[in-house]
Amino acid sequence: MDSESTGKKIRAVTLIILILLTVIFIKIIAGQKISSVSEFQAYICGFGPAAPIVLTLFQAFQVIVPVVPGYLGCIVGAVSFGTMTGFLCNYIGISLGSIAAYFIARKYGLKALLLLFPKKQYDKWVEKINRHRSYDLFLFVATLLPLFPDDFLCYFSGLIKMNAKKFIWIIILGKPWCIFAYSYAFGLIR
């Protein structure tokens, strides 16, 4: 068996595992009938001492498979665990998920992105991004600001084969500010 054939099989198995994990994740959340932040908070806190780890993993997963907005996890983290612990769970999870999304797109290409995002969204952002002189600067600013489609941009960055080290540094330096602002604001509610 040649290495190209082996690589295709590994990619296919990985994609199938991601799809299965997504289905399981959606069923677990749907089975909980979570319809508010307080219900989500109760669900996460139900894991006891492992709750911060569960939130961190949830935040990573919600970037890789964007089924819910990331700010919900930020709210739950800050309200449940306080500003700093909530921030750390959210920052680590979202950063790991962002980096994973980049490498998934790099490995599987446009097909992976189009499984998760509509083609219309892809076309819209390609047009917007093409108008900017520096994608690196655009991505950094996008990670600083709330309500940008960060998950999409992580996948897109992998598609354009942006330098991996540069991407990781943008995530590490750009992500914490908005996440900390959410954590601080919602930590006050606690």
pLDDT for the residue 99 = 95
- The residue with greater pLDDT, 173 or 11, is 173
Q: What digits encode the pLDDT tens for the residues 84-120?
A: 999 999 999 999 999 999 999 999 999 888 988 899 9
Mean pLDDT of 51-79: 85
pLDDT for the residue 35 = 65
pLDDT for the residue 28 = 58
Closest CA to 135 of 147, 126, 122: 126
Q: How far apart are the C-alpha atoms of 4 and 8, rounded to whole Å? A: 6
Is-contact 40 34, C-beta < 8 A? yes
pLDDT for the residue 26 = 55
Torsion region of 147: left, alpha or beta (phi above 0 gives left; psi -120 to 50 gives alpha): left
The domain segmentation of the chain, as residue ranges, is: 3-187
Q: What digits encode the pLDDT tens for the residues 148-188?
A: 888 999 999 999 879 999 999 999 999 999 999 988 988 88
pLDDT for the residue 187 = 82
Q: How confident is the model at residue 17 (pLDDT cuts 50, 70, 90)?
A: low
Is-contact 96 61, C-beta < 8 A? no
Check pLDDT > 90 for residue 34.
no
pLDDT for the residue 169 = 97
In Å, the largest CA–CA distance within the chain is 59
- The residue with greater pLDDT, 153 or 16, is 153
pLDDT for the residue 123 = 92
Mean pLDDT of 16-39: 62
